Structure 1
């Protein structure tokens, strides 16, 4: 089983400004601070319009169903990676070391009328017998919350 997450983040800024923000380590640091992570590390490399963004964070696990907490534990390490092929399209993965499952998909930017939409399209798969589907739903909800937080930070970042 897999769950799909399709989420759009709209910014009142041109595509180039949003692409630059997504490649700025300071922006990624701000997102981690806003998410109240226990610890984090941001790594970034660029080659022309291509970029590789990697954010590893340790988060306390709170406010999730008891069945999920038993599998996840009190803290969880999350490795989020965006490999941008150019300013418009990239691959998006989220990994959780030593936990079953994977999250893979794409990320893209599209500008229209001075506004830019970041589209994230992910497939979430958790291979745990009996509760895998429920865990996929929990993970999807957590990812949506993380994307909403990223958007809030991004709006403030672009307004400065």
Structure 2
């Protein structure tokens, strides 16, 4: 979004705060989220076109990975379709730390000069857990940036909800 402050233009990122809940403990959910098999299963189920686990490393209480996900052009708003000229390709890098069950995420999109940056925290929530994303979406396109930030934020929320549902089912099938 572009806001006028004291007669000058100032770019602002769109904040995104979202949480999902799980009936499973934070330890179980964290264990899944840093498990290579789980990541591959999740991508196969909900990763979209040409989804893949690009990189994966784990050791010393830290896990990092890069995911590539795709959204077919026919599932995108017309504004996004015209900008991209085809399918949306999402590059997502996550780094997780076992101590505290926290993580960071960086998301870039093909053909879009912008990104999403955020932090994750996974905490106990009664007998289950809650995953919280606190981040921001920034798209540097005059006049369209704010609209695209809104679309991206909405799509991230939909994706996180789908991933949460998948995680709960994946864990339930392994209990």
TM-score, structure 1 normalization? 0.91
8 Å Cα contact 2:119-2:135 kept in structure 1: yes
What are the ranges of 5 or more consecutive residues in structure 1 without an aligned counterpart?
Answer: none
TM-score, structure 2 normalization? 0.83
Aligned to 2:153: 140
Q: Which structure is richer in relative contact order (CA contacts within 8 A, separation 6 or more)? A: 1
Matches of 1:112 and 1:151, distance apart in 2 = 14
The size of the alignment, in residue pairs, is 160
Alignment of structure 1 residues 1-160 onto 2, 5 Å: 1-35=12-46, 37-42=48-53, 43-87=55-99, 88-160=101-173
8 Å Cα contact 1:30-1:153 kept in structure 2: no
The alpha-carbon deviation at position 36 of structure 1 amounts to: 5.5
Question: What root-mean-square deviation, in Å, do the aligned CA atoms of Structure 1 and Structure 2 show?
Answer: 1.7
Once the two structures are superposed, residues 125-160 of structure 1 have per-residue CA deviations (whole angstroms, 9 ceiling, x without a partner) of: 001011110010111111111111101101101111
Once the two structures are superposed, residues 20-41 of structure 1 have per-residue CA deviations (whole angstroms, 9 ceiling, x without a partner) of: 1001223222332333611122
Matches of 1:146 and 1:53, distance apart in 2 = 17
Matches of 1:142 and 1:67, distance apart in 2 = 14
Q: Residue 28 of structure 1: SS of its match in structure 2? A: helix
Matches of 1:141 and 1:125, distance apart in 2 = 13
Matches of 1:16 and 1:36, distance apart in 2 = 24
Matches of 1:58 and 1:112, distance apart in 2 = 32
What are the ranges of 5 or more consecutive residues in structure 2 without an aligned counterpart?
Answer: 1-11
